[in-house]
């Protein structure tokens, strides 16, 4: 009840200011002021003001917002923990995935692609370079050499 009275007073004051502005021959500004001053009374007439005051002044609504906030925080914590673990549930599942990874082999590879680290891959690369002095690696770079020669580099 009090909110509708306050909104009606604000609208009346705004319309009064709009009338004074129109009296000074500033019709465009007066029209804008009148439009803004009609908003509060329009909100009261549609019931939006009562709805907002019911939300703001009820403790159960604020408790509901608190529960929603708690839910969001718990969800974010669980997602953070899941990302740190790698997204897999228990220890048995992690071991099964680790076993699957050790058996991973590329389709045309002679050795596992995920098995050994950097140290084991380097001797194989040296061996391929020694074998392919006149073979495949030189063919791979022939296209690049042709492009560079074409551009004068």
pTM as predicted: 0.43
C-alpha–C-alpha distance, residues 27 and 51, integer Å: 35
Quickly list H helices, the chain: 2-23, 27-46, 48-56, 59-85, 91-102, 118-131, 136-150
pLDDT tens, residue by residue, 92-132? 776 777 776 655 555 565 655 555 555 554 555 555 544 54
Q: What is the pLDDT of residue 88?
A: 58
Q: What is the mean pLDDT of the chain?
A: 79
Give residue 27's Cα distance to chain centre.
46
Higher pLDDT, 79 or 141: 79
pLDDT-derived band at 144, boundaries 50, 70, 90: confident
Give residue 28's Cα distance to chain centre.
42
Contacts of 132 (CB under 8 A, 6+ apart): 138
């Amino acid at each position: 009840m009090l909110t509708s009275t306050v909104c009606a007073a604000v609208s009346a004051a705004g319309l009064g200011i709009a009338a004074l502005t129109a009296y000074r021959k500033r019709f465009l500004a007066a029209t804008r002021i009148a439009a803004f001053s009609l908003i509060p009374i329009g909100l009261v007439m549609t019931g939006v003001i009562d709805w907002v005051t019911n939300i703001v002044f009820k403790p159960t609504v604020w408790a509901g917002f608190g529960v929603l906030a708690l839910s969001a925080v718990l969800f974010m914590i669980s997602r953070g923990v899941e990302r740190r673990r790698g997204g897999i549930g228990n220890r048995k599942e992690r071991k099964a995935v680790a076993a699957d990874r050790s058996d991973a082999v590329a389709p045309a590879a002679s050795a596992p692609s995920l098995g050994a680290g950097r140290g084991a891959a380097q001797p194989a690369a040296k061996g391929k370079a020694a074998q392919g002095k006149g073979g495949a690696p030189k063919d791979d770079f022939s296209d690049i050499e042709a492009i560079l020669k074409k551009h004068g580099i």
